[in-house]
Structure 1
Amino acid sequence: MCSVNARSLEHPGRHLGEEKWGEKVLKEKYGKEIEEILSRYPVKRSALIPLLYLAQREHGYITEAAMTEIAGLLKLTPPQVYETATFYTMLNLKKVGTHHIQVCKSLMCALVGSDTVIGWIKTKLGIAPGETTADGLFTLTAVECLAACGTAPMMQINDDYYERLTEEKVDKILVDLRTAGTSPLKSGPYMWPESTR
């Protein structure tokens, strides 16, 4: 669980992780990207999730100061930003491993073996959901639907989908990631063939 509360979000110098951010770090570093994102949304608060993703790109998680800065950009309160950041499993409020393994646990994946996939990863890496390996290489998270129900069970590692998982595929993916940093088994999301009607 995260130790942030609404009161601490009123102080931009505080942070969730190891990096301290000033009040305008995002604006200084990503000014053009922020303006481009904001230009796509007539109602500025609609840019909240894209801006949270931008902040997460910096360290792999979203700092408290970044949430406060985003609140200022969108004229929201820091607790409003925090509520959104804590609602979505794809947004991280604490540091994650180099390879963030997110296994879908929604109904369709559960019916075809996501619990087996999670159990296998726990055995192979020695970590439970919510934990990171001692070397900082892997974090395991059980998440809600990743919208690949037709190719379940599946997981997302960072931005890549791995679908139709078996224990053998999981083994290969973990070895590939540990040795090469990527795996040729990444699949997409899988795109269904066009209808021939």
Structure 2
Amino acid sequence: MLVKQGMKKVDEIIEMYEGRKSALIAVLQEVQKEYRYLPEDILMYISEAMDITPAKVYSVATFYENFSLEPKGKYVIRICDGTACHVRKSIPILNALRKELDLSDKKHTTDDLTFTVETVSCLGACGLAPVITINDKVYAKMTPEETIKILKEIREGEAK
């Protein structure tokens, strides 16, 4: 039943774009917004519903960095490791987050799917380095301590 409900939502998204093959990227973006990643069964469903080969759907989903085939947390934390941020100590921030959330360079998402931690090459805010984003909200001139403080605030908000 859950799958059928999920497919109903996917059908609505496809219908928003009138099933146009040229709207595949937009459809995938909307699906990812809904599920926080692109589940394989839904990619196959999109393939059938939009009459696009599974290889084409999968190649688009894997080509663009913003798409994820793995579940992501409710809060996606991106740490910039571009030159300016790296020089201004972004790695200690990354290490503090990994320690606090029991993550590693191989494990990016907490077991409860609350947090995902990713490094990115540049967030385009070099003058504010080191920078992190949490669900696209920018936090400037961060320290490991300040980052953990923000995490605790998020957790307290979740507990309410």
Measured against the shorter chain, the TM-score band is: 0.7 to 0.9
Task: Using CA pairs under 8 Å that are at least 6 residues apart, name the structure with larger relative contact order, 1 or 2.
Answer: 2
- Other structure's SS at 1:127 match: coil
Give the distance between the partners of 1:23 and 1:135, measured in 2 at CA.
Answer: 21
> Which residue of structure 2 aligns with residue 131 of structure 1?
108
Aligned partner (choices 40, 64, 81) of residue 88 of structure 1: 64
- Other structure's SS at 1:96 match: coil
Answer yes or no: is the 8 Å Cα contact 2:14–2:27 preserved in 1: no
TM-score normalised according to structure 1 size: 0.63
Change (3 A) 1:79 1:120: same
User: What 5-or-longer segments of structure 2 have no aligned partner?
Assistant: none
What do residues 50-88 of structure 1 show as CA deviations (whole Å, max 9, x unaligned)? 322201122211112333344456664322332332233
Give the distance between the partners of 1:33 and 1:148, measured in 2 at CA.
Answer: 34
> Which residue of structure 2 aligns with residue 111 of structure 1?
87
Q: Do residues 163 (structure 1) and 126 (structure 2) align?
A: no
Answer yes or no: is the 8 Å Cα contact 2:10–2:31 preserved in 1: no
- Other structure's SS at 1:132 match: coil
Give the distance between the partners of 1:23 and 1:127, measured in 2 at CA.
Answer: 29
Change (3 A) 1:160 1:23: closer
Farther-moved stretch of structure 1 (26-35 vs 154-163)? 26-35
Q: Do residues 57 (structure 1) and 33 (structure 2) align?
A: yes
TM-score normalised according to structure 2 size: 0.75
1:155 Cα deviation after fit? 2.0
> Which residue of structure 1 aligns with residue 16 of structure 2?
33
Answer yes or no: is the 8 Å Cα contact 1:71–1:81 preserved in 2: yes
Identity of aligned residues (%): 32
Which of the pair is proportionally richer in helix? 2
Q: Do residues 144 (structure 1) and 148 (structure 2) align?
A: no
Change (3 A) 1:81 1:109: farther
Give the distance between the partners of 2:49 and 2:26, measured in 1 at CA.
Answer: 13
1:176 Cα deviation after fit? 1.1
Q: Say how many residue pairs are matched.
A: 156
